[in-house]
Amino acid sequence: MIELHYSPEVSDARTHGQAIVALESTIITHGMPFPQNVETARRVEATVRAKGAVPATIAVLEGKLRIGLSDTELEQLAMTQDVMKLSRADMAIAITTGKTGATTVAATMIAAHLAGIKVFATGGIGGVHRGAEESFDISADLRELAITPVTVVSAGAKAILDLPKTLEVLETFGVPVIAYGQDELPAFWSRDSGIGAPLRLDSAADIAKSHRTRRDLGLSGGQLVANPIPKADEIPRSELQTIVNKAQDSVGKNGITGKDVTPYLLSRIFDLTDGRSLASNIALVLNNARLASAIAKELNTTPA
Ligand code: PSU
Ligand code: MN
């Protein structure tokens, strides 16, 4: 087995059987600018603690798979340039060669599962990019949801993606896409996508229950919870559409491909909205941390 390096806080939580929520690190290194990235990471951790669970931010630091980071490590990671973006394909190489890398949704799910953590909070998962019929750009996050049994709390798939195609792939893979408390699929910065969600649940208790039921049925893979951004923090879909189209145009014009596409789009949209997209992104991540904590506590207190 691979050696997992737990922070003292997470190690203590494991000893005492406390609820733990996994957090990713690509959002810190590739999803937000400094210093908002480290400020957000700290606020997300504080939110999980305030809700009575323990945060475990996951990353590979100098080849060590870390489950939980100290405040100094979090800050260092947030300030470091050229950190690797680790998905399923990259994790073993980063560990083998002693590199530092931030984990995406896919890689964080793998690490969380190794550590026995069942719930993970992020912003938005990767999915099928617009123009995927040409580029074949489909995030490894989707396949990970099909095989690794972690409940991922997101604000839906990012609105930069082709949402109908993303839903089709998730359906093919047998991944439950569960809107929380509404019928429509939320679209990251907006509460609504204009598309109905395949499934809906209205409580953390039910989400925990369905996680357990999937296990009891012997089904592989996780659940995707799509938690709408709070109303006060959203950018309405109508406003966002032209901005996303503009950002998407510049992907093609500038020859951006592969792993760089999502970070590039997020930073273009930041510029095009004068920073409003970042404020929304921060609010939705905090909102997801709250729901993930409630689910983790439900999974922890109810009998196996
Ligand atoms: N959520 C955010 N910001 C992000 C991400 C999620 O609010 O930057 C990251 C996650 O790590 C996710 C990645 O796995 O974006 C998707 O990258 P790609 O499209 O290259 O698979
Ligand atoms: Mn991609």
Q: Digits of tens for pLDDT over the chain (304 positions)? A: 899 999 999 999 999 999 999 999 999 999 999 999 999 999 999 999 999 999 999 999 999 999 999 999 999 999 999 999 999 999 999 999 999 999 999 999 999 999 999 999 999 999 999 999 999 999 999 999 999 999 999 999 898 999 999 999 999 999 999 999 999 999 999 999 999 999 999 999 999 999 999 999 999 999 999 999 999 999 999 999 999 999 999 999 999 999 999 999 999 999 999 999 999 999 999 999 999 999 999 999 866 5
Could you give the CA distance from residue 281 to residue 188 in angstroms, rounded to a whole number?
Answer: 8
Q: How close is the Cα of 302 to the center of ligand 1, in Å?
A: 31
Q: Is the CB of 101 under 6 A from ligand 1?
A: no
Of 75, 83, 21, 72, the closest CA to residue 46 belongs to 21
Q: Which residue ranges make up each domain of the chain?
A: 4-301
Contacts of 15 (CB under 8 A, 6+ apart): none
Q: How far is it, in rounded angstroms, from Cα 13 to Cα 294? A: 16
Q: How many CA atoms lie within 13 A of 116 on its CB side?
A: 11
3-state secondary structure of 159: coil
Q: What is the rounded CA–CA span in Å between residue 151 and residue 178? A: 10
> Which class is domain 4-301?
alpha beta
Q: Is the CB of 280 under 6 A from ligand 1?
A: no
Q: Is the pTM of this model over 0.75?
A: yes
Any ligand 1 atom below 6 A from CB of 144: no
Which residues, at least 6 apart from 95, have a Cβ–Cβ distance to it below 8 Å?
A: 2, 60, 63, 64, 65
